[in-house]
Amino acid sequence: MLAFLLTLIPSLLTPALNFFTAMKNTQLAMFQARFGAAESVAVAAIQGQAAVQTRWWFAALPPALIGLTIASYIGKAVFWDKVIGAFAGCAGKGVDAMCDRWFNTDPMTGDLHWVFITVITGYFGVALVDKFLTTRS
């Protein structure tokens, strides 16, 4: 039985490995097209970038955690309260106490509202600035 399961591993990993290989080949082609570098130079630059990202992973952690916090609030307020709550019969006015307890998210008030707007603007603003800078160079 174990031998059978071990023979399945390569067939399960092949699509993922093919995807990552295609992704790296595309990244290599994009680097070569953008900078006109030789393949060996492009491979060295991509490997150097990967080494920096691997070594400094903790620098990317705070923005990811902040974004995950905002995304979880949006997911709770929209998906849980509105979608799941509607399927549970807790949509509209005059709902019972159970619906109010389980399918009601507190509104953002005061400074938390501005933190939310700042985080969302930052995430989309960074993407816009990055796109602008990459198309200008």
For 20-64, write each residue's pLDDT tens digit: 788 888 888 887 887 887 888 888 888 888 777 777 777 778 888
For 58-87, write each residue's pLDDT tens digit: 777 888 899 899 999 999 989 998 888 888
Any residues with CB less than 8 A from the CB of 102 and at least 6 apart, and which? 85, 88, 90
Question: Which pTM value belongs to this model?
Answer: 0.56
Amino acid at 25: N
